[in-house]
Chain A
């Protein structure tokens, strides 16, 4: 109908002219306004993280209007009677004041803290989704690294925020953080003195931490998120396999209007749910914890969950210290607090590169893998997750002990053994499950799906009728690529060159066998012919 009557565009106005004549933005927008995004709930996990970060910026800004980042000691005269007349830092007093004497202040504090927990939890489930579907593969390795960086920064940022109110729990957390820094050989004591401006707790750390929490880390996170999202934009989003979805296309809905409405709406939903938690559930009630005092402690002193695994590892560590030549090395701190987490996160960061080195695949991948079709990777992921969960459980062993009538010593021993044993067991079980599911897929493709209808054969035997599945389903179940194990014997590669036979080559062959040695072969044409011959 636009042929017959020239309709005026919605953006054909003075404001747009003003913008375009100064930026030339029309050309850029022209191609991007209808950009296609695939639709799947698991693609919203990263968005939850993004939106909770925005909620953190908004609610955090409100909190800065009332928070006083100072360790100067004051006498409390506010409206909360159980603290009246006590000596406390201004940081603690101002946090109490904003909770009780600022309308909506406590709500904002609670929203901020819940949003922080959601930010971390969403980053973790987003990471798991990306890992288990192989979304980190070429060309998305940068985004994987950025994601690991964001998670690390998120943990630090969360811990910094948790520490700012200078209550008994957060002060205890800082004391432990200081002990970790102090345990670093050679420079630890100096680092701790520089950080805290002298011996712990000093008088300056809260204000330093404040700058780190409200400026330094958020700015870096914001920058990394920007790059993270730009890469998603340029590389286009991955998609799940299915009919019509290939490595060469992206199937979904256009940015304008569908995705704008959905993503924009989802921001409000995430904010709403966070506000709902902030309205109904008390979080970090610092007025109950009391002001920080190094000679006080509460039973069940724990950090937030994103640090809880670290605390759990520290709790279960062997009590090793080396004393030699007038120096002390605290292995009981270094191993659980720095070395093990360092290895874990480095391994996580390097995994995409390790995997593509082992399978030699240098192609781009935009179709996601189903976890069952990469059994070793999936099992490895579950093993790593199990490791973290055991550590986290041990981090809350005292609360578990009192609520389930157990002994902390029992849980500690369970964790000490379990941290080695359970990842291996869960690896083996997961791999079996994956292979079983892949077998089931193969059977479904070859024989169809069990229909639930029983038919009696002339000889009196009952059989269940199998229904052939649709061509769409067959394609979805068979489209995945499989890797071969690198041949063990040949020393000459396809170009006729001597292959690396040293430790590197042997490692690669061993890893290749470990990762791809056990797979369920996809049905071949030959399999289908045999199948049709039987019927």
Chain B
């Protein structure tokens, strides 16, 4: 509390509750009757809306559409059900509140508050009772019991935790594994067409997956690590070191499509600037310099997949990825 106000008299004092102002309905029977009718009308509107709801449910087919401005052609059943449901509900609400506002007494009433703290006598009584109970239990004296109980309680929390162990397998090296391996053909996703180098023009892209043995198809789990984007540039546009240049074929370069930031599919390729953009958090990668990060929160380049062509001219992986694809994790060593 303000110290300086203690010495001074507060200039104003509480004038107390203002006088009650009567409403029209309080003294005018006509207004009162009107208010009553308004409330009843709202309740009737609600009842009628419910009937209309039932009629719409039964009477309007699910595939019936109507044209409305703003909506365009829209599903009539969904709209009718929704509007009548909304009307039925809100009319009850508005009716009840209107009733309370116009017809129920509106004189403000006063309740007294009491401090939350219990009375001293109650607190003392509780303290005494508690001490009695504690003494009777002997917990203060019997330290052996106290300590062993403490240890037992601490240990028992382990059981539920250990039960959670089988929620999932241990990570081991699974995050580092993809289905790409030496000789995997690049097949389009979706479609499954194996690509040859000639199938990609300069400025062209294809979303590809590794062809799996025995005609197996990728599961969603596979897609989470296998998705690759293959892009063709003019070879002179690429500025890579000798090893990475060796991983490309005649301007064709392939990257993991999974963002090194949070794993979204980085498929947004701007062929004029050679930038790859992730729509999730807008990390931008420069394809010409091996997908190095030029903007946004990603910290690492997209892993490059070494590709070449096989004897039949199909694009194939030289070997699997040399690093884990997708977002970072604690065990990841660069």
Residues of chain A at the chain B interface (Cβ within 8 Å) = 34-36, 79, 100-101, 103-104, 106-107, 110, 139, 172, 175-176, 178-180, 182-190, 192-202, 234-236, 243-244, 246-254, 257-259, 261-262, 264-273, 275-276, 278-280, 292-301, 311, 314-321, 323, 326-330, 332-333, 336, 361, 363-364, 366, 397-398, 408-409, 412, 445, 471-472, 474-475, 478-479, 481-484, 522-528
Q: Are A272 and B17 in contact (CB under 8 A)?
A: no
Q: Are A268 and B90 in contact (CB under 8 A)?
A: yes
List of B residues within 8 angstroms of A311 by Cβ: 280-281
Q: Are B282 and A525 in contact (CB under 8 A)?
A: no
Q: Are B89 and A275 in contact (CB under 8 A)?
A: yes
List of A residues within 8 angstroms of B4 by Cβ: 484
Identify the stretch in B28-36, B196-204, B232-240, B259-267 within 8 Å (CB) of chain A at 4 or more residues: B259-267
Chain B, residue nearest A201 (CB)? B220
Q: Tell me if B298 counts as interface (CB < 8 A to partner A).
A: yes
Complex interface bits, B92-123 against A, C-beta within 8 A gives 1, otherwise 0: 11111111110011101111110110000000
Chain B, residue nearest A279 (CB)? B82
Q: Tell me if B1 counts as interface (CB < 8 A to partner A).
A: yes
In the complex, given contacts A202-B168, A268-B92, A275-B90, what are 7 additional A-B residue pairs having Cβ atoms less than 8 angstroms apart?
A176-B264, A272-B90, A294-B265, A318-B297, A319-B297, A328-B331, A445-B12
Q: Tell me if B271 counts as interface (CB < 8 A to partner A).
A: no
Q: Are A244 and B16 in contact (CB under 8 A)?
A: yes
Q: Tell me if B50 counts as interface (CB < 8 A to partner A).
A: no
Which residues between 286 and 334 of chain B lie within 8 Å of chain A, taking CB atoms?
293, 295-300, 326-334
Complex interface bits, B7-23 against A, C-beta within 8 A gives 1, otherwise 0: 01111111111100000
Q: Are A101 and B62 in contact (CB under 8 A)?
A: yes
Q: Are A199 and B93 in contact (CB under 8 A)?
A: no
Q: Tell me if B136 counts as interface (CB < 8 A to partner A).
A: no
Chain A, residue nearest B334 (CB)? A323
Q: Are B104 and A258 in contact (CB under 8 A)?
A: yes
Chain B, residue nearest A190 (CB)? B171
Chain B, residue nearest A244 (CB)? B17
Chain B, residue nearest A172 (CB)? B264
Chain B, residue nearest A267 (CB)? B93
List of A residues within 8 angstroms of B330 by Cβ: 182, 184-189, 327-329
Q: Are A188 and B329 in contact (CB under 8 A)?
A: yes
Q: How far is the CA of A187 from the CA of B8 in the complex (A)?
A: 62
Contacting residue for A279 out of B86, B221, B332, CB 8 A: B86
Complex interface bits, B67-104 against A, C-beta within 8 A gives 1, otherwise 0: 00001000101110111011111111111111111001
Q: Tell me if B279 counts as interface (CB < 8 A to partner A).
A: yes
Q: Tell me if B164 counts as interface (CB < 8 A to partner A).
A: yes
Q: Are B112 and A248 in contact (CB under 8 A)?
A: yes
Rank and list the top 4 A-B pairs by shortest CB-CB distance, nearest first: A279-B82, A272-B90, A265-B96, A268-B93
Q: Are A264 and B329 in contact (CB under 8 A)?
A: no
Chain A, residue nearest B260 (CB)? A321
Taking the closest CB of chain B, its distance from the CB of A230, in whole angstroms, is: 13
Taking the closest CB of chain B, its distance from the CB of A63, in whole angstroms, is: 15
Q: Are B106 and A253 in contact (CB under 8 A)?
A: yes
Q: Are A271 and B224 in contact (CB under 8 A)?
A: no
Chain B, residue nearest A140 (CB)? B116
List of B residues within 8 angstroms of A261 by Cβ: 96-97, 99-100, 104
Taking the closest CB of chain B, its distance from the CB of A441, in whole angstroms, is: 12
Q: Are A189 and B220 in contact (CB under 8 A)?
A: no
Q: How far is the CA of A295 from the CA of B228 in the complex (A)?
A: 9
Contacting residue for B262 out of A175, A319, A471, A482, CB 8 A: A175
Contacting residue for B12 out of A246, A254, A471, CB 8 A: A471
Q: Are A327 and B108 in contact (CB under 8 A)?
A: no
Chain B, residue nearest A523 (CB)? B11
Q: Are B17 and A251 in contact (CB under 8 A)?
A: yes
Q: How far is the CA of A139 from the CA of B170 in the complex (A)?
A: 48
Q: Tell me if B167 counts as interface (CB < 8 A to partner A).
A: yes
Chain A, residue nearest B219 (CB)? A73
Taking the closest CB of chain A, its distance from the CB of B261, in whole angstroms, is: 7
Contacting residue for B279 out of A299, A318, A471, CB 8 A: A299
